[in-house]
Amino acid sequence: MVRAIAGGQDVPAARSDAHLYGMTTGDQRFAQLAILSPAVRAGLNYWLGRHRADGLPPGRPDIDPVDMPSLLPNVVLIDVRRDPTDFRYRLVGGKVRHHLNANLLGLWMSDIPHQKAPSHLWSKCLEAVDSRSPVLSNTPYIGPHRDFLRAEDLILPLCDDEGRVHMLLVFVDFLHKNYARAVADATR
């Protein structure tokens, strides 16, 4: 099985079968993302389906919670501020809140000691802004539930009409130790 670097870690790559992600041939550039979570994979599929005719990533008006009710618990919506760069939590889904040690709603990453620059999460958010492309961030899990190994975060840019990233749509899932081991064993 092919391996890919994701979030600074060597992880099993998802099969490069584009149809697993609901992608068209032009979207196969995202097939190398080593996505393990079905919820995160569905989030990528949702985002890809909202791309605009002008080729830009979707904007906030293109995202409708009514279209993704089963994914809402896994969604985080982040405002992007420029000059100085910062990221603010606008929406944090129920599953994400359940797994965190704190309520991040309304907080700027620069005010959170383990998230401010140059943290792993900060750099991945900045990468998504600069590249206007999906960024997979596999973050070690440090929340209150000890049976979880890591969080799988897919950071997706949302652009305004001028093509500037103004928000990040993030799909997060928490991988249980047993699930992560089973996937690793299956890919060996």
- Is the distance from CB of 157 to CB of 132 less than 8 angstroms? yes
Question: Domain coordinates of the chain in residue numbers?
Answer: 3-186
Output the pTM of the full model: 0.79
Is the alpha carbon torsion for 178, 180, 186, 188 positive or negative? negative
**What pLDDT score was predicted for residue 22?**
37
| pLDDT surpassing 60 at residue 30 | no
Lowest-confidence region among 7-16, 37-46, 64-73, 122-131: 7-16
88-132 confidence digits (pLDDT tens): 999 999 989 888 877 899 999 999 988 888 888 899 999 999 999
Residues in the chain, total: 188
Taking domain 3-186, whether its CATH number is 3.30.450.20 is answered by: yes
Residue among 1, 36, 30, 67 at smallest CA distance from 174: 36
pLDDT of 11 > 60? The answer is no
Q: Which residue has the higher pLDDT, 8 or 83?
A: 83
Residue 153 CA to residue 167 CA, distance in Å, equals 15
Write out pLDDT tens, residues 129-172. Answer: 999 999 998 877 777 777 877 888 999 999 998 999 999 999 99
For the segment 13-29, the average pLDDT, to the nearest whole number, is 37
Residue 18 clears pLDDT 50, i.e. is over it: no
Tens digits of residue pLDDT in 170-181: 999 988 877 655
Between 84 and 142, the more confident residue is 84
Write the Ramachandran bin of 83: left for phi over 0, alpha for psi from -120 to 50, otherwise beta.
left
Terminal-residue alpha carbon distance, the chain: 7
Tokens of 161: 């009409």
32 to 70, 75, 169, 179, 183: CA distances (angstroms): 25, 22, 20, 20, 16
| Residue 51 clears pLDDT 80, i.e. is over it | yes
